[in-house]
Amino acid sequence: MSDLDNTTPVVSGTVKWFDPAKGFGFVVSDDGGADILLHVNVLRNYGQSSIADGARVEITAHETSRGVQATQVHAIHPPQTGQSGPLEEIVGVDPAIVNAAPIEPARVKWFDKSKGFGFANVFGKSADIFLHVEVLRQSGLSDVQPGEALALRVIAGERGKMAAEVYAWETVILSDSDAE
């Protein structure tokens, strides 16, 4: 029996790397052992199509003939790096202002990871909301796709409205139903 069977259903670890184009990546367990395959379908069941390298995860995994594979994602925590500070547009913004901004439902209009930015629209509104790759990373995401549903905290930046926090929409729905 593996140490990842029913006696230890949740494994904590760090995303080693994840490539949305390939549809998979690997998690390094805090307990050591072989890298754990994280397939995009398992991630999608959690409500995300990507995850940032270095993000902390809590997953259920099991041993297969091809190695250890994640079967369910329970939680994703953004990477804790000292390198990626807030964006210049956010510098000086009181965190209370960001926290006071409502979480709004939005859809990705377009996003180009190589350029490092894109735009989304809050449901029912035509104004573009700027999405920066560093805000995605700080939120535990590495990429988003056109049409993908998100939840955003939007603030007024120097050049217009911008996302200060980004969440997978399903994650916010699950959090709200847990609070009831």
| CATH code where residue 34 lies | 2.40.50.140
Q: Domain limits at 131?
A: 95-179
Task: State the sign of the Cα–Cα–Cα–Cα dihedral 72, 77, 82, 87.
Answer: positive
Q: Are 94 and 100 in contact (CB under 8 A)?
A: no
Q: What is the DSSP letter of 102?
A: P
Q: What is the pLDDT along the chain (180 residues), one digit of tens a residue?
A: 444 444 557 999 999 999 888 999 999 999 998 999 999 999 988 878 889 888 899 999 999 898 999 999 998 887 775 544 556 666 667 888 888 999 999 999 999 988 889 999 999 999 999 999 888 888 888 888 899 889 999 998 878 899 998 887 776 655 555 444
Phi, psi angles (nearest 5°) of residue 68: -85, 135
Residues 60 and 102 in one domain: no
Asked if 56 and 76 count as a contact pair (C-beta separation under 8 A), the reply is yes
Q: Which two tokens stand for residue 104?
A: 């709004």
Overall pTM > 0.85 = no
The H or E element containing residue 62 is: strand 56-64
Domain count, the chain: 2
